[in-house]
């Protein structure tokens, strides 16, 4: 039986009637237990097996009532990437253990994927996992790990068999970030802050019970994570002038003395593109709700990143003299991902990462041209070669 | 009410019927041959499209001789016409003239004739006219119209004119001459129209006439985006097909990353263009107050996407793309002409500046 919008509205009203907001965490736990956390998840795991599109019904009721939310910007990696992967490949025990505190934000997650020698070519990764009784012993180095400094757990991809071609010898784990041998070092970036980290794994023991998917099947599991990652970045419903374009449009209206004809034309071009991308996102969500997801999702992150970069660049030029200033170079350790929250210089510099993180624009164009347009792939020299024999 | 940006099942059925008809009539070699003949318009196709399929009367209410569908279905027909650069007077008659009549609220019998395809008409304005600030070049005295209008699309096959003149909007049945021009776009011709003492029937006057004209040009801009979308889709699909089959340096040309990325960018442009075109058509269908913004966004975006797609189509086909035999040039010519039609992208952006309160 499918849950209807009206039933969800009733369930939400009941939740609101039975629980106050005084204890934020208690409210979030009750919401999860009522199946109103992510309604498309199974019953008992924070959902009601409802169509994904109906989440908006619940969210609107809760927002109108001023209910606390689970702060998605702080726990976005858990929500957007770890949770769908655990749901699809995890055991019943793993579902019970991890999903609830993940959703409430009690336990923050990070993603131990990229390595110094394996970025866009993720399947080249070399962090070794060696079986030892009921445990695996993991050694290697990961990089660009957002939230590693606040994370309780990580999703981790490793090399478990170096003797087979690279895509076949990977295994995927849940890693306890408090385990002995896990060392997190801040990685200061272009903005001055240390949003990212390097993570060194030295003889970290991971029980086999924390494996996600079969031994050697890590690439397939990682694909689920990566696909969800690209949907999660830039996939939210926004009103017109939501996001970066709204910031610049407001600046334009508020500061007539900054206007020039050349900047005017660029502003309007970017406004039109931003509106096109916003409408395309709306159309994508309508397709999902109608049960026929189109390929548009592959492109949204690519479109979003180039727009953010161009608009934030325009903002600095528009500001003129003030664009030469920066708000604060202090090395900070932010606990949330924030593209727009600081000042113009920060926005400009942070946006440079949008075309690199979560799949570079070049990799995304390859995905579109090969998987959407069906163009032939480049010749591959690494396909049938054991990982250990690959040049690096 | 929120906009519906998807295609309905009924629209998909309509698309299939129109595409099937166009596939039979718009084979590239036949298109080229016709473009150089004395009959550049395919009136047999037009009769099948307007008469048999009822495509010209989609937007017209049933009690006025039409099919009581909406601008969404008209947009869909335009997508297919754009895909095949079909040489039919759909834009001039079923879109511009029909919307002028609809917006004027007239009960003139012409609307029914246009809806059934029994007659065609054009809105006598230069094709380059955008929705705002139109100055008529036709004078009127006691219902008699005199003057010349340059660069009118589809005029060479028009039975009637809908003419903005003086302070009114007039239907003209005779007393005008059409002088063919050499058109950049081989599959949509432009012509000069001269009125020398033509008798006009007024269908709107004063503010109502100005509003009807603006409404027609706005509807035209909103709907032209769908033709641009269809055109760009053809260009992308055809280029992808070619690059998969063309071998150089021992591998399919389409496996080179430099080319793949360019096509991925065209595809990404299309994702936004499709959403913007659907939104404009849906706003027009629902009479949404956001229509002026939606139409301006759609033209600012889709006109440039179509030109970009057509230019990439020529470039990536390389030598063959420069030949007369290959249809790529027909698409480039239509795309470029459409970029100037019903307001350039720059003029639509300027209109947005006012609508959005982002002044220069």
Q: Which residue of A has its CA nearest to B275?
A: A280
Name every chain A residue with its beta carbon within 8 A of the beta carbon of B246: none
Q: Which of residues 217-236 of B touch A (CB under 8 A)?
A: 236
Cα of A37 vs its chain's centroid, Å:
18
Query: What ipTM goes with this model?
Result: 0.87
A137 or A320, which is more confident: A137
Q: Contact B261/A365, CB-based, under 8 Å?
A: yes
Measured between CA atoms, how close is B277 to chain A, in angstroms?
9
Q: Contact A276/B272, CB-based, under 8 Å?
A: yes
Measured between CB atoms, does A372 come within 8 Å of chain B?
A: yes
Measured between CB atoms, does A373 come within 8 Å of chain B?
A: yes
Q: Contact B271/A280, CB-based, under 8 Å?
A: yes
Nearest to A368 among B255, B268, B353 (CB): B268
Interface probe for B, chosen from A255, A268, A301, A370 (most Cβ of B below 10 Å), is A268
Tokens of A332: 């900070």
Nearest to B260 among A286, A300, A375 (CB): A375
Determine the pLDDT at residue A31.
97
Measured between CA atoms, how close is B240 to chain A, in angstroms?
7
Determine the pLDDT at residue B205.
96
Give the H/E segment covering residue B161: strand B160-165
Nearest to B272 among A259, A277, A372 (CB): A277
Measured between CB atoms, does A13 come within 8 Å of chain B?
A: no
Helical pair B257-286 and B71-83, crossing angle rounded to 10 deg: 150
Q: Which residue of A has its CA nearest to B253?
A: A376
Give A203-223 pLDDT, tens digit per residue.
999 999 999 999 999 999 999
Interface probe for A, chosen from B2, B271, B276, B349 (most Cβ of A below 10 Å), is B271
Q: Which of residues 180-239 of A touch B (CB under 8 A)?
A: none
Measured between CA atoms, how close is B73 to chain A, in angstroms?
18
**Spatial separation of the C-alpha atoms in residues A106 and A98, rounded to whole Å:** 10
Measured between CA atoms, how close is B194 to chain A, in angstroms?
37
Measured between CB atoms, does B355 come within 8 Å of chain A?
A: no
Angle ∠(A180,A185,A191) on CA atoms, nearest 5? 155
DSSP B255: G
Tokens of A312: 């934030």
Determine the pLDDT at residue A231.
63
Measured between CA atoms, how close is B108 to chain A, in angstroms?
38
Q: What is the mean pLDDT of chain A?
A: 92
Determine the pLDDT at residue A234.
46
Q: Tell me which residue of B231, B223, B240 sits closest to B304, measured CA to CA.
A: B231
Determine the pLDDT at residue A286.
86
Q: Contact B358/A249, CB-based, under 8 Å?
A: yes
Q: Tell me which residue of B238, B254, B259 sits closest to B313, measured CA to CA.
A: B238
Give A177-202 pLDDT, tens digit per residue.
999 999 999 999 899 999 889 999 99
Measured between CB atoms, does A121 come within 8 Å of chain B?
A: no
Measured between CB atoms, does A286 come within 8 Å of chain B?
A: yes
Determine the pLDDT at residue A54.
85
Give A339-378 pLDDT, tens digit per residue.
888 999 999 999 988 998 888 899 999 999 999 999 999 8
Nearest to B257 among A256, A261, A366 (CB): A366
Q: Does the structure show a pLDDT above 70 at A230?
A: no
Determine the pLDDT at residue A287.
85
CB B349 within 8 A of CB B296: yes
Residue A255, CB half-sphere, CA atoms under 13 Å: how many? 15
Determine the pLDDT at residue B90.
98
Q: Does the structure show a pLDDT above 80 at A291?
A: no
Measured between CA atoms, how close is A51 to chain B, in angstroms?
18
Burial classification of residue A295, based on how many CB atoms lie within 10 Å of its CB (0-12 exposed, 13-18 middle, 19 or more buried): middle
Nearest to B358 among A267, A303, A374 (CB): A267
Determine the pLDDT at residue B1.
57
Q: Contact A283/B297, CB-based, under 8 Å?
A: no
Give the H/E segment covering residue B315: helix B291-317
**Spatial separation of the C-alpha atoms in residues B301 and A271, rounded to whole Å:** 10
DSSP characters over A226-290: HHHHHHHTT-S---TT-THHHHHHHHHHH-GGG--HHHHHHHHHHHHHHHHHHHHHHHHHHHHHT
Nearest to B271 among A249, A259, A299 (CB): A299
Tokens of A65: 């009532």
Q: Which of residues 21-80 of B touch A (CB under 8 A)?
A: none
Beta-carbon count within 10 A of A327 CB = 12
Q: Does the structure show a pLDDT above 70 at A233?
A: no
Give A89-144 pLDDT, tens digit per residue.
999 999 999 999 999 999 999 999 999 989 888 999 999 999 999 999 999 999 99
Question: Which residues in chain B come in under a pLDDT of 70?
Answer: 1
For residue A140, the cross-strand partners are A201
Name every chain B residue with its beta carbon within 8 A of the beta carbon of A373: 236, 240, 260, 263-264, 267
- Tally C-beta pairs within 8 A across A and B: 127
Residues of A designated as active site: 229
B148 or A294, which is more confident: B148
């Amino acid at each position: 039986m499918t849950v209807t919008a009206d039933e969800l509205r009733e369930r939400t009203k009941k939740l609101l009637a039975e629980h106050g907001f005084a204890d934020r965490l208690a409210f979030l736990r009750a919401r999860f237990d009522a199946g109103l956390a992510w309604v498309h998840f199974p019953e008992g795991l924070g959902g009601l097996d409802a169509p994904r599109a109906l989440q908006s019904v619940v969210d609107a009721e809760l927002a109108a009532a001023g209910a606390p939310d689970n702060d998605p910007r702080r726990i976005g990696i858990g929500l957007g990437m770890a949770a769908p992967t655990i749901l699809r490949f995890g055991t019943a025990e793993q579902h019970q253990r991890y999903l609830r505190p993940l959703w409430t934000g009690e336990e923050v997650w990070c993603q131990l994927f990229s390595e110094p020698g394996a970025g866009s070519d993720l399947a080249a990764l070399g962090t070794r996992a060696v079986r030892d009784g009921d445990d695996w012993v993991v050694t290697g180095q990961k990089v660009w790990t957002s939230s590693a400094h606040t994370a309780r757990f990580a999703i981790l991809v490793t090399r478990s068999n170096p003797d087979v071609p690279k895509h076949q010898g990977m295994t995927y784990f849940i890693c306890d970030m408090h385990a002995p041998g896990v060392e997190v070092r801040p990685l200061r970036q272009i903005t001055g802050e240390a949003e990212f980290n390097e993570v060194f794994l030295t003889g970290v023991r991971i029980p086999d019970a924390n494996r996600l998917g079969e031994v050697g099947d890590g690439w397939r599991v990682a694909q689920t994570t990566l696909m969800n990652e690209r949907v999660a970045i830039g996939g939210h419903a926004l009103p017109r002038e939501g996001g970066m374009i709204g910031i610049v449009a407001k600046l334009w209206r508020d500061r007539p003395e900054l206007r020039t004809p050349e900047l005017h034309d660029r502003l309007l071009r970017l406004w039109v593109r931003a509106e096109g991308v916003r409408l395309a996102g709306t159309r994508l969500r309508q397709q999902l709700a109608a049960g026929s997801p189109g390929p548009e999702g592959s492109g949204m992150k690519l479109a979003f990143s180039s727009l953010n970069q161009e608009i934030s660049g325009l903002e600095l030029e528009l500001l003129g003299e003030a664009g030469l200033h920066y708000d604060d170079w202090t090395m900070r350790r932010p606990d949330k991902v924030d593209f727009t929250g600081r000042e113009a210089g920060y926005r400009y510099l942070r946006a440079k990462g949008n075309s690199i993180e979560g799949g570079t624009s070049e990799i995304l164009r390859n995905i579109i041209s090969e998987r959407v347009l069906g163009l032939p792939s480049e010749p591959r020299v690494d396909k049938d070669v054991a990982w250990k024999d690959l040049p690096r | 009410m929120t906009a519906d940006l998807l295609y309905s099942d009924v629209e998909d059925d309509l698309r299939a019927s129109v595409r099937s008809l166009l596939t039979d009539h718009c084979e590239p070699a036949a298109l080229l041959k016709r473009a150089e003949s004395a009959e550049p318009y395919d009136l047999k196709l037009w009769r099948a499209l307007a008469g048999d399929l009822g495509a010209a009367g989609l937007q017209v209410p049933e009690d006025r001789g039409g099919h009581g569908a909406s601008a969404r279905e008209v947009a869909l027909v335009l997508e297919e016409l754009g895909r095949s650069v079909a040489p039919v007077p759909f834009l001039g008659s079923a879109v511009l003239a029909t919307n002028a009549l609809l917006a004027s609220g007239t009960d003139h019998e012409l609307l029914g004739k246009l809806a059934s395809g029994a007659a065609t008409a054009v809105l006598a304005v230069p094709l380059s006219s955008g929705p705002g600030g139109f100055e008529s070049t036709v004078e009127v005295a006691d219902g008699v119209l005199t003057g010349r209008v340059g660069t009118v699309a589809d005029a060479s096959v028009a039975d009637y004119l809908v003419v903005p003149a003086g302070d009114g909007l007039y239907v003209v049945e005779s007393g005008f001459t059409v002088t063919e021009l050499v058109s950049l776009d081989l599959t949509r011709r432009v012509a000069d129209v001269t009125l020398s003492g033509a008798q006009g029937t007024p269908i709107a006057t004063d503010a109502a006439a100005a509003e009807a004209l603006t409404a027609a040009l706005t509807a035209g801009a909103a709907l032209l985006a769908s033709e641009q979308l269809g055109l760009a889709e053809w260009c992308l699909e055809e280029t992808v097909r070619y690059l998969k089959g063309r071998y150089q340096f021992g591998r399919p040309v389409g496996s080179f990353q430099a080319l793949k990325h360019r096509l991925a960018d065209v595809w990404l442009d299309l994702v936004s263009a499709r959403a913007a075109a659907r939104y404009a058509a849906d706003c027009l269908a629902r009479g949404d107050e956001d229509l002026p913004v939606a139409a301006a966004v759609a033209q600012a975006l889709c006109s440039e996407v179509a030109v970009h797609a057509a230019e990439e189509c020529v470039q990536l086909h390389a030598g063959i793309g420069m030949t007369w035999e290959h249809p790529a040039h027909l698409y480039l010519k239509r795309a470029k002409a459409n970029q100037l039609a019903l307001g350039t992208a720059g003029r639509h952006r300027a209109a947005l500046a006012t609508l959005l309160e982002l002044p220069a």
